[in-house]
């Protein structure tokens, strides 16, 4: 791939600086794998740079074809609506620039292997006293939760694949926001099950406000429970996650980026969500976008005095 082509990693953004820093670490990992591609990144909300800044930066560097990859696990409203809206708006501003959107990460063999790796790491760090094998343990997968039942069902699908594939005695799903069952409601129910150990797998790419909330709720429950609760880390910048990104990049480069839209509530009248079918594609992050052209956020670039001064002044 020539320098006239680029890769835009489309993140969501976090109110937690640690989450934003973790995303930039992932960007650096992708850059290291693809030195022949102009790699940049942006966020929908809460952080900068926004997509417009990254696209402008790439365009100024001579890029005329951009593959935009949603760095998101499941296809909720962000991947189906907000990111396409942003990219379509930017496409209209650059007549000689082609922006091609790839697929979200989704459930892939690489993601399953990474989930297994994280679960095994949590098990290895725990005490084995009084706890049998996985048949004596419950897997609790915790998703972000969205208003899109298609995306939520993928979290449940991941639960089944891991639960059966790894031989857990029981596996169930909860969410930290938007939909049910909530984690707070699920923990007391899990506590009543006849399993001595509960492994909590938060399905999150990076740390952030919601992941820390999951840890807090599990810890608050653990102190009142006789069971052993273990939590995994977020997916982070593991090589297996980079493998998953590479697979989506290869798809986009080959022109094979079609999503499975059979149960998309924006295309079909899904039970309980009939009013969303055919909805106009409009982004909803206009009031929480980051600040344009914050060059200190470029991976590998020193910050300098100007960005620090801008932050002090609040501009």
51-70 pLDDT, tens digit each: 999 999 999 999 999 999 99
The 8 Å CB, 24+ separation contacts for 268-276 are 270/149, 270/150, 272/149, 273/149
- 5-106+238-313 is classed in which CATH architecture? 3-Layer(aba) Sandwich (3.40)
Strand bridging mode 98-101 / 137-143: unpaired
Q: Which residues contact 293 (CB under 8 A, 6 or more apart)?
A: 49, 53, 56, 57
Q: Distance from CA of residue 118 to its chain's centroid?
A: 16
Strand bridging mode 197-202 / 170-175: unpaired
Task: Tell me if residue 6 falls in helix, strand or coil.
Answer: strand
User: The whole model's pTM is what?
Assistant: 0.83
Q: Which residues contact 153 (CB under 8 A, 6 or more apart)?
A: 263
Task: Pick out the chain residues at pLDDT < 70.
Answer: 1-3, 127-131, 258-315
pLDDT of residue 287: 52
Residue ranges per structural domain of the chain: 5-106+238-313, 109-231
Same fold, 5-106+238-313 and 109-231: yes
Strand partners, 202: 142
Give yes or no for a contact between 221 and 41, defined as CB atoms under 8 angstroms apart: no
* CATH of the domain spanning 109-231: 3.40.50.1400
Helices (H), 34-182: 51-60, 77, 83-91, 109-124, 149-166
pLDDT of residue 261: 58
CB atoms within 10 A of CB 88: 13
Q: Is the peptide bond before 181 cis (omega within 30 degrees of 0)?
A: yes
The DSSP line for 49-82 is: SBHHHHHHHHHHTT--EEEEEE--SS-SHIIIII
Buried b (16+ CB within 10 A) or exposed e, 94-133: eeebebbbbbbbbbeebbbebbeebbeebbeeeeeeebee
pLDDT of residue 312: 44
């Amino acid at each position: 791939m020539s320098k006239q082509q680029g890769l835009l990693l489309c993140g969501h953004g976090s109110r937690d600086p640690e989450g934003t820093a973790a995303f930039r670490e992932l960007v650096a990992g992708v850059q290291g794998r693809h030195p022949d591609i102009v790699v940049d990144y942006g966020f929908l909300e809460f952080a900068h740079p926004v997509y417009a800044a990254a696209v402008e930066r790439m365009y100024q560097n001579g890029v005329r074809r951009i593959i935009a990859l949603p760095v998101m696990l499941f296809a909720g409203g962000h991947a189906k609506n907000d990111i396409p809206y942003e990219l379509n708006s930017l496409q209209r501003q650059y007549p000689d620039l082609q922006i091609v959107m790839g697929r979200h990460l989704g459930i892939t063999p690489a993601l399953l292997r990474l989930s297994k790796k994280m679960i095994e790491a949590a098990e290895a760090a725990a005490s084995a006293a009084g706890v049998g094998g996985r048949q004596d343990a419950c897997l609790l997968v915790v998703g972000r939760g969205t208003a899109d039942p298609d995306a939520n069902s993928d979290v449940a699908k991941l639960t089944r694949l891991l639960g059966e594939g790894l031989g857990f005695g029981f596996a169930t799903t909860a969410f930290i926001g938007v939909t049910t069952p909530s984690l707070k409601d699920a923990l007391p129910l899990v506590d009543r099950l006849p399993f001595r150990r509960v492994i909590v797998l938060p399905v999150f790419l990076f740390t952030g406000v919601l992941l820390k909330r999951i840890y807090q709720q599990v810890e608050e429950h653990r102190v009142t429970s006789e069971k052993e609760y273990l939590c995994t880390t977020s997916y982070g910048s593991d090589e297996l996650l980079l493998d998953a990104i590479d697979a989506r990049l290869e798809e986009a480069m080959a022109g094979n980026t079609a999503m499975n839209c059979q149960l998309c509530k924006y295309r079909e009248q899904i039970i309980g969500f009939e009013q969303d079918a055919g909805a106009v594609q409009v982004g909803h992050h206009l009031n929480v976008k980051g600040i344009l052209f914050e060059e200190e956020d470029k991976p590998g670039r020193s910050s300098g005095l100007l960005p620090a001064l801008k932050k002090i002044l609040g501009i």
